[in-house]
């Protein structure tokens, strides 16, 4: 009996700790690695970021979502993309001469350079994108329970301009850059721009 108590005295705390960690990872936050250059200059390829699951998605939030069945080129059931939310449900979104308009109003894009705004963004609206890319859903607005997302490095980003909207059900959480992994400007551009 002493041996059983002795074993339980150190096994039980380990099991409880693992259970708590699993619950936190499932419902509160997890860490992911940025894969590719689509979020440059604010997130770098290979950078590890926190994904906070309970945070509300807002305009300019950086999110992580499961891209399987969102992007036809997503190869695996657990392929995750990191992108910035530009359009919320019901929004109109348009790009013209390096400016992005949401519901007819220009949004601030100070989080990327003038070069990044004008090279690769193109001139379009949601309706012309849906026609050009032959989306199943022909619409001029972001549908209910969906988001329109772009990468910050527009000229290399595979995003909503090509495959359409991200269903809210595919969103894993909102990205937050930890204090120790980035400079202050980049951290601000990811953590503090949502409105």
CB 96 within 8 A of CB 109: no
Question: Which H or E element spans position 20?
Answer: helix 2-27
Question: Active site includes 2?
Answer: no
Residues 38, 61, 130, 157: which is the catalytic one? 38
Question: Active site includes 9?
Answer: no
Residues 61, 80, 83, 182: which is the catalytic one? 83
Question: Where on the phi/psi map is residue 26: left (φ > 0), alpha (ψ -120 to 50), or beta?
Answer: alpha
Question: Which H or E element spans position 7?
Answer: helix 2-27
Sign of CA dihedral 54, 88, 185, 66: positive
> DSSP string spanning 102-170?
ETTEEPP-TTS-HHHHHSS--SEEHHHHHHHTT-SS--SSPPTTEEEEE-SSTTT--SHHHH-PEEGGG
Active-site residues: which are they? 38, 83
């Amino acid at each position: 009996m002493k041996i059983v108590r002795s074993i339980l005295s150190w096994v039980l705390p380990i099991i409880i700790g693992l259970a708590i960690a699993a619950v936190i990872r499932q419902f509160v936050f997890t860490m992911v690695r940025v894969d590719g250059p689509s979020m440059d200059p604010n997130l770098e390829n290979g950078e590890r970021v926190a994904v906070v699951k309970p945070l509300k998605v807002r305009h300019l939030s950086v999110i992580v979502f499961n891209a399987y069945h969102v992007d036809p080129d997503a190869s695996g059931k657990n392929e995750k993309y990191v992108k910035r939310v530009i359009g919320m449900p019901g929004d109109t979104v348009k790009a013209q001469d390096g400016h992005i308009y949401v519901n007819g109003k220009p949004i601030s894009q100070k989080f990327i350079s003038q070069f990044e705004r004008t090279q690769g963004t193109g001139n379009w609206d949601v309706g012309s994108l849906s026609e050009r890319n032959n989306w199943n859903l022909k619409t001029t607005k972001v549908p209910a329970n969906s988001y329109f997302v772009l990468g910050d490095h527009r000229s290399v980003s595979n995003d909503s301009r090509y495959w359409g909207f991200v269903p809210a059900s595919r969103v894993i959480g909102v990205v937050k850059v930890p204090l120790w992994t980035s400079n202050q400007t980049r951290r601000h551009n990811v953590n503090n721009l949502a409105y």
